[in-house]
Structure 1
């Protein structure tokens, strides 16, 4: 059975931190591929994406095009509405019945797992890979995480990664201020952001 990693998000924009998390998860968990899935509407976030769905999809494609094990899927964008992970996994399981799916998420999202849509059923179908990420300036620490219910905790694999203090929000803020996103996003994405003038407020 193929082990496939799934990484969802607005990717507004996709950045180096996303790619490092995917690579480290592949190495630590023996994944054959990682599929990046830009979402149409995240359930636990209120802000609307700054770039269009087509632009976010294109940036994800540009960021991953030189990695033979990375793929980008547009199924959530085509489906529209709120992007529930359960619905996505259900669809992918029908399309790829021989795949074992592992969802790659930051430790902040691991804390939110009890709030996820149909989480008990989802946890029976996939494993969760929790990658460390900066949180309010403090390093991720399992001891600081509230305890998950045992059935969920058993489905989580923790993977350490470099503490890269990079976020899509910070990149949008820099670009809006006329600053550079160089070395925060892949060069192909930087070229796309520059050409399209995304996130800049020139009045």
Structure 2
């Protein structure tokens, strides 16, 4: 049975930190592939994404095009509404039999796992790969046993890149060269996203 990593998020925009995290998880946990799944509306974030779902999908598609182990799915974007992981995983299992799935999540999401929609049922369907950043240590010891036994911690190097910072830099006309893949930067420029006035 092939093991697939799932990386969800708004990807507004996708950046090199996302790709590095996916590759680190793939390598250390023996994943055959990592599937990026842009969310339509994340349940635990107050703010809606800044650009359209079509553009967020397009940026991820551009970012993963050169890596045969990465792909992007529009399953949550087509479904619309709040993007609950349980619904997504249930649909993936029906669509892709013979595969097992592991959710790749950051330190902040590890500590929030108990708040996830139908988390006990979700934990029966998937395992979790927690990416621990040095400045944001995970606290798996505080999780209930049904989650601890389904969680693998992977150490991440400090990156210091965030989608929020990238959006702010683009709006202010500052360079984001090397913070996003060249293909993503080209996409942002082509469509004038984030009110970019940068000539990086």
Give the TM-score of the pair, scaled to structure 1.
Answer: 0.93
2:174 alignment counterpart? 179
| Residues 189-200 of structure 1 mapped to structure 2, 5 A cutoff | 189-200=184-195
* CA–CA distance in structure 1, aligned partners of residues 157 and 3 of structure 2: 23
| Residues 120-135 of structure 1 mapped to structure 2, 5 A cutoff | 120-133=120-133
- Following TM superposition, the consecutive aligned residue runs of length 4 or more in structure 1 with deviations greater than 6 angstroms are none
The alignment partner of 2:194 has SS state of coil
| Residues 11-160 of structure 1 mapped to structure 2, 5 A cutoff | 11-133=11-133, 139-142=135-138, 147-160=142-155
| Runs of 5+ consecutive residues of structure 1 not aligned to the other structure | none
Tell whether the 8 Å contact from 2:7 to 2:37 is kept in structure 1 after alignment.
Answer: yes
1:7 alignment counterpart? 7
RMSD: 1.3
* CA–CA distance in structure 2, aligned partners of residues 12 and 89 of structure 1: 22
Aligned length: 197
* CA–CA distance in structure 2, aligned partners of residues 185 and 201 of structure 1: 14
| Runs of 5+ consecutive residues of structure 2 not aligned to the other structure | none
Would the alpha carbon gap of residues 145 and 93 (structure 1) be closer, same or farther in structure 2, given more than 3 Å must change? Answer: closer
Tell whether the 8 Å contact from 1:8 to 1:39 is kept in structure 2 after alignment.
Answer: yes
